[in-house]
Amino acid sequence: MTGSDLAVVLESLRPAPGSGGMVGADARRCARALGVDGVAVSVTLGSGLTELLWSTPGTSTQLEDLQFTLGQGPGPEVAASGTAVSVPDLSLEPAGRWPALLADALALGVGAVFCLPLDVGGACLGVMTLQRAEAGPLEERSLADAWIVTNALTAALVQNPEPWAAFAAAEDTSHFYRAAVHQAAGMISVQADVSLAEALIRLRAHAFRHGRPLIEVADDVVARRVHFRHDDGDEPGVRGRRRD
């Protein structure tokens, strides 16, 4: 960890021009400054939907996708509670805490994970997740620096609320990382006459039942290969050839 890396990251924590609200800083440099292997930032959009704004490629992005698909993990826990979660050794976590997540997260090579809320007046706007392959607590200096980065991120996003405004206004979200999921949840909400939150639950349940990535199932919904009927318990209707 170097002070110069942290200074550069803090200086560049602002939305990149034309990025739709994406953070402009180098995620790899941020991870290096904080003494971890990867970092990711997701913001909450309401009704259980989140959007990945910024991450190091590989394990951090995969962990975010896994948590989003399953709807559980340290990130969703922080988003719901607004309280930081520290897991210095993921292999020692009780199986019942995140039963669908733990085995897959460990298989990704995640040994430790630390999640901090992007908090504004008690409201959690999103979560910054730090992950490391090696188990062990985050050093006190690194934790203090992580809070500095989190606060700077929160300030940058509050000053540029485009991700939330675009989604709330139902504007084009094609530039979003999870654009297909946002669109699919809206379609399911109409097809099944349920709330957006319930639509996302049904989408997740279908993906989990068939062992498929959530984004892949969402693509099927958007392409109208899968249709969620207006009922409570039946399997969604499928048009064309299934891919699972």
CATH of residue 193: 1.10.10
* Band of pLDDT at residue 50, cut at 50, 70 and 90: confident
Q: Is 217 found in the same domain as 154?
A: no
158 part of a folded domain: yes
Residue that is last in its domain, among 136, 162, 188: 162
Confidence (pLDDT) at 20:
46
Total Cβ atoms within 10 A of residue 129: 26
Q: Is 157 found in the same domain as 53?
A: yes
**Distance separating alpha carbons of residues 92 and 96, to the nearest angstrom:** 12
In this structure, are residues 78 and 85 in contact, taking their beta carbons and an 8 Å threshold?
A: yes
Question: What is the sign, positive or negative, of the torsion defined by CA atoms of 85, 86, 91, 94?
Answer: negative
- For residue 33, give the CATH number of its domain: 3.30.450.40
* Band of pLDDT at residue 236, cut at 50, 70 and 90: low
Q: What is the DSSP letter of 178?
A: T
Q: Is 146 found in the same domain as 188?
A: no
Which of 47, 196, 100, 71 lies closest to 228, judged by CA? 196
Q: Is 9 found in the same domain as 127?
A: yes
Q: How far is CA 243 from CA 23, 89, 204, 233, in A?
A: 35, 36, 17, 22
- Helix 27-34 × helix 3-11 angle, to 10°: 140
* Band of pLDDT at residue 232, cut at 50, 70 and 90: very low
Least confident of 17-26, 61-70, 183-192, 223-232: 17-26
How does pLDDT run across 70-93, given as a tens digit for each residue?
Answer: 889 999 999 999 999 999 999 999
Confidence (pLDDT) at 169:
46
Residue that is last in its domain, among 131, 162, 193: 162
Q: Is 200 found in the same domain as 140?
A: no
Q: Is 69 found in the same domain as 30?
A: yes
Residue 221 structural domain: 178-238
Give residue for tokens 């930081």. Answer: 84
Q: Is 155 found in the same domain as 197?
A: no
170 part of a folded domain: no
- Domain count across the chain: 2
List the end-to-end C-alpha distance of the chain, in Å, as a whole number.
44
Confidence (pLDDT) at 58:
94
**Distance separating alpha carbons of residues 87 and 39, to the nearest angstrom:** 15
Kindly give, in sequence order, each residue whose CB lies less than 8 Å from that of residue 96, ignoring residues fewer than 6 positions away.
none
Average pLDDT score over the chain = 81
Q: Is 142 found in the same domain as 203?
A: no
Q: Is 205 found in the same domain as 155?
A: no
Q: Is 70 found in the same domain as 120?
A: yes
Interior angle at CA 56, CA 66 and CA 173, nearest 5: 65
Residue that is last in its domain, among 117, 135, 162: 162
* Band of pLDDT at residue 176, cut at 50, 70 and 90: low
Question: What is the sign, positive or negative, of the torsion defined by CA atoms of 137, 49, 194, 244?
Answer: negative
22 part of a folded domain: yes
Q: Is 109 found in the same domain as 52?
A: yes
Residue 107: is its pLDDT beyond 90? yes
Tokens describing residue 153: 């991120």
Q: What is the DSSP letter of 122?
A: T
Q: Is 199 found in the same domain as 102?
A: no
142 part of a folded domain: yes
